Amino acid sequence: MTIIDFHNHFYPPKYIKALKRGPSNIKVSFDSENNPLLHYPGDYNIIVKEHMDTVLRAKVLKEAGVDKQILSFTTPGTHIETPERSVELAQMVNDSFAKIMDEHSEHFSALATLPLNNPQASVFELERAFNDLGFRGVTVFSNINGTALSDQSFWPLYEKADDLNAVFYIHPSFPVGVEAMTDYWLMPLVGFTFDTTLAAAKLVFSGVAKKFPKIRWVLAHLGGAIPFLAERLDRGYFAFKDCRENIDKPPSEYLKDFYYDTVNFDLNALQLAIDFAGADHLVAGSDYPHQIGSLEKMESSIEKLNISSKDKEAIYGVNASKLLEIS
C-alpha cells in the first residue's frame, strides 16, 4: 500500500539564508540549539534540520514506511514581504523545490508557492511553475495580509489555474483578530483552523468555486470546521437571499468536491469528514516536521478507521497520486 504524505513542510536552505541576510519583514531569532525561529503574529516556527535536509528526510520516511511526501512551503509565507521581495523569494522557493523534484523524485514531489500580495505576478509565477518547472499544484494561504482568497483581485489567477486544472492547497495563515489568540498557542490551535473554514466558506459563497470548477481545492487540517459546519452553511443558503446571489446550489454541494487532508488525528473527526465528502476526497497528512505534527499518528489514525481496505488505500496515497498525477 503506497503512503503519500500530502501535508508536510519544507524550507529551502537558500530561503532561510535570504531571511537572515534580509531585507525581510520576518523576525529571525535562534533557540538554544541554534535552530532559526521565524516569528509572525501569534506564533513562530522552529526550523529544525528536518525542515531543510532532504537526505535526512528520506531516511526518516523510509523508517516510517512513508513512500513519498508532497513538500509545501508554509507560514509565514512570502506574502508578508514587500511585493517585489515576495516575487524574488517565491521564485527562489519554487526553483529549489523543482530541483528536489528532479533529483529526488522517488521520495518527493512539491507544491509551488506564489507571491500572493502581488496577484498579477502570481499569475506569471503560476505559469512558470507549471509550464517550466513541472508543478501540478500550489499552496495558497487562507488570507493574504487580511485580504480574503475570494477577493476579485485573485480572480485572474483562478482563471489561469482553471485553464491549468491546478490543485490549490489552502494552508492557514494568521487570521484577522490574531491579537485575541496570542496566549496558549491559540492562534495555530484555533485561529488556523477557523481561518481555513472562513476561507473555504467565502470561496463558495462568492462564486469562486462555481466560476472556476476545474480548480481542485484541498483544505488543510481536515478543512478546519467545514465538515462540522456544512449543514449550518446550507441553512444560511436557504435562509438568506445574499447567500444565494452567486451560487445555485447549497454550499455543501460545492464543499463535497473539495479535498481534506487528515491532519486531525481524532477518529470521530476523520469519520465525519469521510461521511461528508467521501473517502475519495481525503488525503493523508502529517504536518511533519512541525512540533505539532506526527508521521506515526498520520498512519495509525487512518489504519484504525472502520472503513474498507480500498478506502484506506485511497486515503493513504491513491487520492494524492491522482490529484497531482504522480506515481
Closest CA to 310 of 322, 321, 318: 318
Instruction: Tell me the residue range of the domain where 175 lies.
Output: 4-314
In a domain, 180, yes or no: yes
pLDDT digits (tens, 9 = 90+) for 277-286: 999 999 999 9
Backbone angles phi, psi at 203, to 5 degrees: -60, -35
In a domain, 233, yes or no: yes
Q: What mean pLDDT is predicted for residues 305-309? A: 98
In a domain, 321, yes or no: no
pLDDT digits (tens, 9 = 90+) for 209-253: 999 999 999 999 999 999 999 999 999 999 999 999 999 999 999
Domain of 158, CATH number, reads 3.20.20.140
In a domain, 33, yes or no: yes
Closest CA to 137 of 6, 286, 231, 235: 6
Radius of gyration of the chain (CA): 19
The pTM of this model reads: 0.97
In a domain, 303, yes or no: yes
- The secondary structure of residue 220, as a DSSP letter, is S
What are the b/e assignments for 261-292, b being 16+ CB within 10 Å? bbbbbeeebbebbbebbebebbbbbbbbbbee
Closest CA to 145 of 78, 209, 95, 200: 78
In a domain, 320, yes or no: no
In a domain, 323, yes or no: no
**C-alpha pair distances (Å), 88 with each of 82, 122, 253, 266:** 10, 12, 38, 39
Q: In sequence order, what are the residues at sequence separation of 6 or more whose Cβ sits closer than 8 angstroms to the Cβ of residue 34?
A: none
pLDDT digits (tens, 9 = 90+) for 159-176: 999 999 999 999 999 999
Q: Where are the alpha helices (DSSP H) in 104-141?
A: 119-131
Number of compact structural domains in the chain: 1
Q: With 90 as the cut, is the pLDDT of residue 327 above it? A: no
In a domain, 9, yes or no: yes
